[in-house]
Amino acid sequence: MAKFNAADFAVTKAKPLPIIMLLDESGSMGQRLGEGIKIDVLNKAVRTMLATLSHEESQASEFLVSIIGFGGSGAHFIAGTESPVTASEVAYSDLLPSGGTPLGAALIAASQLVEDKERIPSRSYRPLVILVCDGEPNDSWEAPLNSFISSGRTAKCDRMALAVGCEEGDKAWAMLEEFVAGTDNPVWTADQAADIVKFFKFVTMSVTQRSQAKDPNKLIPAKEVLMLQSGDKAIQNIDADGIIDVEAIVIDPDENEERGFRLNRWG
Q: Residues for the chain: how many in total?
A: 267
Q: Report how far residue 265's alpha carbon sits from residue 229's, in angstroms, rounded to the nearest whole number.
A: 8
- What average pLDDT score do residues 158-178 get? 92
Phi, psi of 2 (to 5 degrees): -70, 145
- pLDDT grade for 236, boundaries at 50, 70 and 90: low
Which of 35 and 158 is assigned the larger pLDDT? 158
Residue 183 gets which letter from DSSP?
Answer: S
Q: Report how far residue 202's alpha carbon sits from residue 250's, in angstroms, rounded to the nearest whole number.
A: 10
Helix (H, G, I), strand (E, B) or coil at 232: helix
**Is the pLDDT at 238 greater than 70, yes or no?**
no
- pLDDT grade for 73, boundaries at 50, 70 and 90: confident
- pLDDT grade for 82, boundaries at 50, 70 and 90: confident
- What average pLDDT score do residues 102-106 get? 97
Residue 256 gets which letter from DSSP?
Answer: B
CB 175 within 8 A of CB 133: yes
Which of 225 and 232 is assigned the larger pLDDT? 225
Helix (H, G, I), strand (E, B) or coil at 214: coil
Residue 238 gets which letter from DSSP?
Answer: B
Pairing of strands 36-37, 187-190: unpaired
Phi, psi of 132 (to 5 degrees): -115, 125
Helix (H, G, I), strand (E, B) or coil at 56: helix
pLDDT at 9: 47
Q: Report how far residue 155's alpha carbon sits from residue 163's, in angstroms, rounded to the nearest whole number.
A: 21
Count of CB atoms situated within 10 Å of the CB of 65 = 26
- What average pLDDT score do residues 249-256 get? 71
**Is the pLDDT at 80 greater than 70, yes or no?**
yes
Which of 76 and 252 is assigned the larger pLDDT? 76
